[in-house]
């Protein structure tokens, strides 16, 4: 083998390993897809409240589930932890009202060393991803 052939093989192995590393989902990628899924559910609940004219409650437990309408059994089912932070005395979840406002909460996502948050504004009901 010549030196040129050896260099070509090393470059090809480097490219294949770089592509393989992107295909394997890491903590941040899993966390981002989970938070986007929750953000979509919350937007849908807000629109549902505005259309129906009735308040819609989204419990914190249902946000951790990968399947719609089911609460996550444990951290091992989803691979991440969801925590909801609200004012004392409120139920653990978010309520969207017909005028577009909400009960206002912060939803935290954690997996490994990665963290993300979605803030729900109480006055406008809009979502901010951090």
Per-domain residue ranges of the chain: 26-129
- pLDDT at res. 22: 67
Instruction: Give the C-alpha separation, 7 to 122, whole Å.
Output: 59
- pLDDT at res. 13: 92
- pLDDT at res. 87: 55
Instruction: Give the C-alpha separation, 60 to 38, whole Å.
Output: 10
- pLDDT at res. 119: 84
- pLDDT at res. 30: 73
- Contact criterion met (CB below 8 Å) for 110 and 81: yes
How many Cα atoms occupy the beta-carbon half-sphere of 78 within 13 Å?
27
Q: Which residue matches tokens 């444990």?
A: 74
- pLDDT at res. 74: 37
Provide CATH code, domain 26-129. Answer: 3.55.40.10
For the whole prediction, is pTM greater than 0.75? no
Residue 96: enclosing H or E segment and its boundaries? Answer: strand 93-96
- Contact criterion met (CB below 8 Å) for 54 and 46: no
- pLDDT at res. 77: 45
Per-10-residue mean pLDDT, the chain, length 130: 87 86 67 80 90 89 57 47 63 83 82 77 81
């Amino acid at each position: 083998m010549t030196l040129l052939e050896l260099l070509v093989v090393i470059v090809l192995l480097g490219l294949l390993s770089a592509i393989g590393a992107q295909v394997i989902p890491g903590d941040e990628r899993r966390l981002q897809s989970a938070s986007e899924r929750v953000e979509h559910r919350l937007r849908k609940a807000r629109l549902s409240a505005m259309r129906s004219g009735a308040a819609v409650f989204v419990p914190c437990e249902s946000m951790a589930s990968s399947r719609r309408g089911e609460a996550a059994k444990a951290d091992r089912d989803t691979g991440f932890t969801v925590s909801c932070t609200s004012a004392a005395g409120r139920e653990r979840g978010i309520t969207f009202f017909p005028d577009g406002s909400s009960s206002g909460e912060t939803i935290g996502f954690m997996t490994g060393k990665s963290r993300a948050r979605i803030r729900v504004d109480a006055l406008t009901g809009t979502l901010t991803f951090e």
